[in-house]
């Protein structure tokens, strides 16, 4: 009987010991996490931090790009600089009323050099319609001759004559008013200056032009 009691007691102790060991090895629901869990948590937290950092950087870059675009975009005009205005000041050396070329109402041929003067006289004869009824001012040597055929006195301002006196260039003029020839007229070859309206006439089916001068200035 006693032997049976010892056996039962031994079995109870063994059961209690086994239950105690099993309880000590059971996982806990609270407390510290396992290293793998800690690593996983740390990895997840790190990934979230990296993503958040990247998002912040992207947002900052977008803001910076927008700011730079507004500052340096070539499509946006810079209104801070005043627009350059064209000058309203006219060249004091140019006057449309005295410019050669038939552009003004007053053509001053005395301001031209010999080459330009020759070209302008040619232009007047070739484009007479542009110059008619305009005031012409010219300077040169006086020359005249009387034609018995037409019973007309022809007077000229000679602007050029070569050394042999065979070739010359100039313009015909008529002196308005009553003047006796040759007493009232300049001497042949005298330096004169005249000014008057350019007019034209026809003679023997040809058209000629002349300056209707109100007075003759003798330059000496």
What CATH number does the domain containing 144 carry?
2.40.50.140
Spatial neighbors of 90 by CB under 8 A, at least 6 apart, are none
**What b-and-e string marks burial along 69-108, b requiring 16 or more CB atoms within 10 Å of the CB?**
eeeeeeeeeeeeeeeeeeeeeeeeeeeeeeebebeeeebb
Q: Is the pLDDT of residue 212 over 70?
A: yes
Q: Bigger pLDDT: 170 or 79?
A: 170
- Is 149 within the bounds of a domain? yes
pLDDT recorded at residue 34: 45
Cα–Cα distances in angstroms (integers) from residue 48 to residues 8, 60, 61, 213, in the given order: 60, 18, 20, 104
- CB of 197 closer than 8 Å to CB of 174: no
Do the bridges between strand 191-203 and strand 168-175 make them parallel or antiparallel, or are there none, so unpaired?
Answer: unpaired
Domain that holds residue 183: 106-218
Spatial neighbors of 205 by CB under 8 A, at least 6 apart, are none
- CB of 125 closer than 8 Å to CB of 170: no
- Is 61 within the bounds of a domain? no
- Is 30 within the bounds of a domain? no
Q: Is the pLDDT of residue 4 over 70?
A: no
Average pLDDT, the chain: 73
Instruction: Tell me the C-alpha distance between 115 and 112, whole Å.
Output: 8
- Is 114 within the bounds of a domain? yes
- Is 196 within the bounds of a domain? yes
- Is 65 within the bounds of a domain? no
Instruction: Tell me the C-alpha distance between 216 and 141, whole Å.
Output: 12
pLDDT recorded at residue 104: 82
Q: What's the mean pLDDT in 193-210?
A: 96
Spatial neighbors of 111 by CB under 8 A, at least 6 apart, are 98, 100
Beta strand spans in 97-183 (E) = 106-108, 135-147, 152-161, 168-175
pLDDT recorded at residue 28: 47
Backbone angles phi, psi at 202, to 5 degrees: -115, 140
Q: Is the pLDDT of residue 29 over 50?
A: no
Q: Half-sphere exposure of 208 toward its Cβ, with a 13 Å CA cutoff?
A: 16
- Tell me the whole-structure pTM to 2 decimals: 0.55
- Is 22 within the bounds of a domain? no
- Is 28 within the bounds of a domain? no
Q: What's the mean pLDDT in 102-119?
A: 90
- CB of 97 closer than 8 Å to CB of 111: no
Domain count, the chain: 1
Q: Is the pLDDT of residue 17 over 70?
A: no
């Amino acid at each position: 009987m006693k032997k049976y009691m010892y056996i039962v007691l031994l079995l109870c102790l063994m059961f209690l010991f086994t239950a105690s060991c099993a309880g000590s090895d059971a996982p806990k629901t609270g407390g510290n996490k396992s290293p793998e869990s800690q690593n996983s948590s740390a990895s997840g937290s790190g990934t979230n931090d990296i993503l958040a950092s990247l998002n912040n950087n992207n947002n900052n870059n977008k803001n910076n790009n927008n700011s730079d675009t507004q500052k340096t975009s070539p499509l946006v005009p810079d209104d801070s600089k005043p627009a350059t205005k064209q000058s309203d000041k006219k060249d004091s050396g140019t006057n449309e009323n005295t410019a050669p070329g038939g552009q003004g109402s007053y053509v001053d041929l005395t301001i031209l050099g010999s080459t330009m003067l020759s070209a302008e006289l040619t232009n007047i004869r070739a484009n007479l319609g542009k110059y008619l009824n305009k005031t012409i001012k010219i300077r040169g040597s006086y020359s005249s001759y009387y034609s018995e055929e037409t019973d007309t006195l022809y007077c000229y301002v000679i602007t050029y004559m070569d050394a042999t006196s065979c070739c010359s260039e100039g313009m015909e003029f008529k002196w308005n008013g009553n003047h006796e020839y040759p007493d009232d007229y300049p001497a042949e070859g005298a330096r004169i200056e005249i000014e008057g309206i350019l007019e034209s006439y026809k003679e023997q089916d040809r058209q000629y032009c002349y300056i209707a001068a109100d007075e003759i200035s003798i330059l000496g």
